[in-house]
Structure 1
Amino acid sequence: MKLNNIKYWTLAAILGANLVSCDDFLDRPAEDSYNVDNFYQNDEQCFQGVNPLYNSPWFDFQRGFFKVGEVLAGNYYWGSSPYLTFTVNGTDEDLINMSYSLWSVNAYANTIRERLQTAGGSEQTRNTCMGECLVWKAMAYFYLVRTFGAVPIVHSNSDDIAAGNYNEKYKVQIPDVYEYIVMTLEEAIRLLPESNSEGRIDQYTAKGLLAKVYLTKSGYGMSGSRNEDDLRQAAAYAKDVIDNSGRHLLANYSDVFRLANNFNEECLLSWHWSASSDAWTCQNALQSDLAIAGFDEFGDCWGGYNGPSVDLQDAFGENALSPTRYNGDTRRKATMMMCGDVYEYFWQDKGGFNYINFIYDTDNLGGPGTYQSATGANEVKQLYGNANDHLTATGVSASSQHSQLSTHLLRLSDVYLIYAEAMIGNNGSTSDESAIDAFYQVRHRAISTYERPSVITWEDVWKERRLELACEGDRWYDYVRLSYYDPQRAINELTNQRRDVYYGLDDLYKTYYQTGSFTVNPDEHRYNPNAVKPNVTISSFTLPFPTEDVVFNPHLMEDPIHVDVRSEFSY
């Protein structure tokens, strides 16, 4: 998962010549026919021009998206990963790729938007496409500021290149970066229609994202409480989406993540990938990193030794040292495979996927033969299944490291929980009916026996966010925003997680598979008693810039400057 080593400052120069050509669900200009002079002449070409922003420049962020969002957060165990032990440095390949990818998105968005300003076609289409560019730009900056802290603002790549100052950019203070994101999304809201074609960004995408931005920025620079004005803005934008977008939660939680529902109404913002093997960087490759060897037919799955963390299992009320599953919360099975689980939506042509049978029935099912996961669980989200599952859902075949499974970045349930938390605000709890209703809709879908409460607390919403959004690349950023105003609480929670491994799982599960007997010997089958707590400090919530970026632009090591973004930049 590595782009060519092209510095983000100069990428726009290449974009002026051509765009990546991928045969995916979104048409786009072909390299052999596209140039600035003969393209962007009509509505169709305007949409084709913006389509690459839904996948290609994001490709090299996929692994960082998961390792930062889930491994660093303690939701996922990934062997000796520095993200597990808080030892990430500027030479880490996934961090480097993540940074380059995010700056590439910004360059794509800036350059395509500039092309659209003089495009042919209707004003409505041009505005819609420019609005889509701005939402993707805002999303890239939202990841950048929450990952690296203060970052430069590259408002126009072409202007910086023309001025020759692309290696003289200074970091901008974090509040100014957030103000720039807010300004960008406000302009996107002005340009976007209330509804758009299936799977595309619309006005409510921008409003939902803006609600999340306001909730995040509300704590920055505060101590123990959050900015009331920001909380009110977060609540207002979230409520607008809830009341007026026409979107609803899907009845069945696991359906959100199935191939057949790539463009479901619950998902406001998603990466939409292509399974075409003719092009690289347009595809979803996460199944290769996360699935057990043999899960598909392409020999490209190597994630069996990793898995959802013991701490996440604890949060779901699960215990890998038991054959009995707690199935009261449907999100658990939709998030992690555990002993006893069978999935009807994976391996449909084989009658479903039986987790433990697959592991040990090597003659018939092609599993690894030994239990690999160190935690007693393997991933479910981000997986599509086997070749038949992919073909049945999409009509096209998957191939090695190529799937079409959409990656959802902002869901309606997230917006519900944003609203509930913003309404709680600095009070610790609320009895507001609309806030309780938003929380209840999310939890009741997962736990059908859950009764509507009369009061909800911040702790209720905090835990609910973890269970609802687990393994979707988001949890670390909840800790970042908590660290803005209550760093000790964030540190304490991360430090006290069970982020380590179980011993003796293969022996335990193999015996169970062979005999049906499940007998735990506490001396052999146990959580690592010598697990070392991670060294989490306030500096842990800001990751280092890639070393190469610092060499390229030494200003990244200097203190950030204040910029009045609304007077300095304009759309």
Structure 2
Amino acid sequence: MKKLITIQAFMMAGILLISSCKKALDEKVYDFVSPNNFYKTEADAIAAGNGVYNMLLSFGFYKQNLWTVDMDADHSSGPTWFMGSMGAGNPQDYWGTPNIWNDHYVMIARANSVLQNVEPMNISEAVKNRTLGEAYFFRAFSYFDLVRLYGGVPIKLITVSAGGDLFTPRSTVMETYQQIISDLKQAQALLYPSGDQRTGEPGRITKETAAAYLAKVYLTIASGSLASGNITVNTGKPTEWGAYTFAKTVVAGLEGVNSQLYFDSARIKCEEVLNTGKFELYPDFMDVWKIPNRNKGENMLMANARAGGLSTDDLWGYFCAARPDGSNQGWVWATKGVYKNYEKADHRALYGISHQWTVFGTSFYFPEEDTEYQSDGSKTYIWNKDYDRAYITKYADVSVKAFQDNDMPFPILRSSDVFLMHAEAVNELNTTPPTAAFTSLNKVRTRSRATEAPASLNKEQFRSFVLEERGRELLFENNRRFDLVRWGIYLQVMNKMSVDQFDIVKARNPRNLLLPIPLTEINSNKGLEGKNNPGW
């Protein structure tokens, strides 16, 4: 427990490097320490590395804004006042959107400072390697978010204080990906394996985490560049929900890329992780979210929060069915169509969705057709279409149940994702899905008490099954929009849905494939030549 507190404490300490929340939002910070009076001791190196981690709980990452990207998908809904911007395809109407770009570049600047200044330090090899490996990882991590959200972006590898160019032009999509791959390879080479004491406190980046992220990058390139193929998705308007088949398109910037090469690279990296045997799934899906299991086993990377201070999040407040005082409900829920996508005995639906809750003094149940949830023996629940919401329960186990003061860490990477990535990659490398693909897929399914995938699935059916399984397993973990975009079906799926049961607009146009670059960046970076992403 002492070590777990330590990893949360260093994120808290990193926040203190930012003088105030307002300044963090208003100022563009290119460097956060001065090499002239810092980087003297091993403790300095560790503190600088901790400052890079800290950005995970900035507004542009997982404190708020980055996970709201998942609202721009077919599985997400909420009240109009909350979903009317990002959730309705209007990111410019949301005040926090520029923070995504800005805070990612702050993390990059901090990582660059570490890389420049820690390398020449006379400190222990273990601390030096770990700190440099973490910096390489987070620089790649930031650029991976940026390229998926904005396309090719300016690549900055040197801090401004060390002579880095303020006016950097955009690199191409593939140039950006090549830098990401290079950094992750460097990270994997420097970092230590999970369980090695040189890795440090629970929650720090390990060699296997870097390998898993390489797999995710390779798979994103592979699926995005695949020239043809069909994918079937359960979607559509509430009255027309069902299975629809869409022809995939190539993601802009990935034309002509050898997709098979990248699928195979993804397979290799997944197997490097899974063959260690260190990341087996917890026995039950709900075990993943228990406080004692944070930063352990299946939870390969989390954005750790800490109640009662600056490093809090509010996943519990946003996603819970009803707060204990009955004053309000959460602001994000899944559509009823998502719930229909689960088998009834699947623990991700049976226990991972709130079927009964009390709000405003009245007890409601979800969903209407599952009448067994109408009573729990002590009280009777009514159904109300206004509360026909599939709230998730995965973010409910927190130390403090108070609005905007929670400690639920955001799950950035779980090994169930790695199993599903492996299943996808192996399937795409063969004419029919081999046993290895079914084995990885069914690991995730049977853990949740769902039936195994039908053995009769062909390659295209298996591809579709894995995509939908990712939607079931990783619901509200900031994957759905990225999955739809990388397969080239985001526009088709969203426009087929058009509007959800709560009247949230889901129809999109091509400009929604990328986020708008903040106008402050367009105006200040001459290298962008005054140009924004298409349509913005």
Same fold (TM over 0.5): yes
Q: How does 1:118-129 map to 2 (within 5 A)?
A: 118-129=120-131
Structure 2 unaligned segments of length 5 or more: list them.
1-14, 230-257, 365-381
Contact 1:252/1:445 (CA < 8 Å) preserved in 2? yes
User: In the alignment, what sits opposite 1:291?
Assistant: 320
Q: How does 1:180-329 map to 2 (within 5 A)?
A: 180-195=179-194, 196-197=199-200, 198-224=202-228, 227-244=259-276, 246-277=278-309, 280=310, 282-292=311-321, 294-295=323-324, 303-304=329-330, 306-316=332-342, 326=344, 328-329=345-346
CA distance, structure 1, for counterparts of residue 406 and residue 106 of structure 2: 22
User: In the alignment, what sits opposite 1:50?
Assistant: 49
User: In the alignment, what sits opposite 1:411?
Assistant: 414
User: In the alignment, what sits opposite 2:475?
Assistant: 470
Return the offset for 1:149. Answer: 1.1
| Residue identity in the other structure for 2:66 | F
Q: Cα RMSD over matched residues?
A: 3.3
Per mean C-alpha deviation after superposition, the further-off stretch among 243-252 and 458-467 is 243-252
Could you say what secondary structure the match of 1:107 adopts? helix
User: In the alignment, what sits opposite 1:66?
Assistant: 67
Change (3 A) 1:308 1:398: closer
Change (3 A) 1:333 1:49: farther
CA distance, structure 2, for counterparts of residue 452 and residue 532 of structure 1: 34
Return the offset for 1:164. Answer: 6.9
The answer to whether structure 1 residue 540 and structure 2 residue 512 are counterparts is yes
CA distance, structure 2, for counterparts of residue 183 and residue 437 of structure 1: 31
CA distance, structure 2, for counterparts of residue 333 and residue 358 of structure 1: 24
Contact 1:74/1:84 (CA < 8 Å) preserved in 2? no
| Residue identity in the other structure for 1:433 | T
Return the offset for 1:305. Answer: 5.1
CA distance, structure 1, for counterparts of residue 41 and residue 98 of structure 2: 37
Could you say what secondary structure the match of 1:93 adopts? coil
Could you say what secondary structure the match of 1:150 adopts? coil
Return the offset for 1:493. Answer: 2.0
| Residue identity in the other structure for 1:238 | C
Q: Residue deviations 1:301-352, cap 9 Å, x none? A: 85535421223223225xxxxxxxx3x111124543134xxxxxxxxxxxxx
Contact 2:320/2:392 (CA < 8 Å) preserved in 1? yes
| Residue identity in the other structure for 2:496 | N
1:458 is matched with which residue: 455, 459, 463?
A: 463
Change (3 A) 1:493 1:77: same
Return the offset for 1:73. Answer: 1.1
| Residue identity in the other structure for 1:381 | K
CA distance, structure 1, for counterparts of residue 531 and residue 111 of structure 2: 27
Return the offset for 1:492. Answer: 2.4
Change (3 A) 1:302 1:47: farther
User: In the alignment, what sits opposite 2:497?
Assistant: 497
| Residue identity in the other structure for 2:289 | F
User: In the alignment, what sits opposite 2:427?
Assistant: 424
Contact 2:75/2:338 (CA < 8 Å) preserved in 1? yes
| Residue identity in the other structure for 2:203 | G
User: In the alignment, what sits opposite 2:249?
Assistant: none
Could you say what secondary structure the match of 2:146 adopts? helix
Return the offset for 1:464. Answer: 0.6
Change (3 A) 1:373 1:380: farther
Contact 1:208/1:415 (CA < 8 Å) preserved in 2? yes
Change (3 A) 1:188 1:9: farther
The answer to whether structure 1 residue 85 and structure 2 residue 98 are counterparts is no
Return the offset for 1:451. Answer: 6.9
Contact 2:191/2:207 (CA < 8 Å) preserved in 1? yes
Q: Residue deviations 1:233-272, cap 9 Å, x none? A: 0000011111025221111111112222211211222112
Return the offset for 1:207. Answer: 0.3
TM-score normalised to structure 2 length: 0.76
CA distance, structure 1, for counterparts of residue 287 and residue 36 of structure 2: 41
Contact 2:316/2:396 (CA < 8 Å) preserved in 1? yes
User: In the alignment, what sits opposite 1:11?
Assistant: 29
| Residue identity in the other structure for 2:409 | S
Contact 2:438/2:453 (CA < 8 Å) preserved in 1? no
User: In the alignment, what sits opposite 1:332?
Assistant: 349
CA distance, structure 1, for counterparts of residue 332 and residue 105 of structure 2: 29
Contact 1:10/1:161 (CA < 8 Å) preserved in 2? no
Change (3 A) 1:139 1:373: farther
Could you say what secondary structure the match of 2:300 adopts? strand
Could you say what secondary structure the match of 2:58 adopts? helix
CA distance, structure 2, for counterparts of residue 212 and residue 426 of structure 1: 16
User: In the alignment, what sits opposite 1:97?
Assistant: 99
User: In the alignment, what sits opposite 2:389?
Assistant: 376
CA distance, structure 2, for counterparts of residue 287 and residue 543 of structure 1: 27
Q: Residue deviations 1:531-567, cap 9 Å, x none? A: 586332333211111222222225436679xxxxxxx
Change (3 A) 1:474 1:55: farther
User: In the alignment, what sits opposite 1:344?
Assistant: none
TM-score normalised to structure 1 length: 0.72
Change (3 A) 1:474 1:155: same
Return the offset for 1:150. Answer: 1.5
Could you say what secondary structure the match of 2:411 adopts? strand
Contact 1:275/1:399 (CA < 8 Å) preserved in 2? no
Return the offset for 1:373. Answer: 5.9
Per mean C-alpha deviation after superposition, the further-off stretch among 464-473 and 417-426 is 417-426
CA distance, structure 1, for counterparts of residue 223 and residue 420 of structure 2: 17
Could you say what secondary structure the match of 1:416 adopts? helix
Could you say what secondary structure the match of 1:263 adopts? coil
Change (3 A) 1:239 1:57: closer
Contact 2:73/2:481 (CA < 8 Å) preserved in 1? yes
CA distance, structure 1, for counterparts of residue 40 and residue 352 of structure 2: 42
CA distance, structure 1, for counterparts of residue 225 and residue 187 of structure 2: 27
Contact 2:316/2:395 (CA < 8 Å) preserved in 1? yes
CA distance, structure 2, for counterparts of residue 205 and residue 286 of structure 1: 23
Return the offset for 1:285. Answer: 2.7
Change (3 A) 1:559 1:306: closer
The answer to whether structure 1 residue 433 and structure 2 residue 462 are counterparts is no
User: In the alignment, what sits opposite 1:506?
Assistant: none
| Residue identity in the other structure for 2:85 | P
Q: How does 1:101-140 map to 2 (within 5 A)?
A: 101-140=103-142
Structure 1 unaligned segments of length 5 or more: list them.
18-34, 318-325, 340-354, 363-368, 391-396, 484-488, 503-530, 561-571
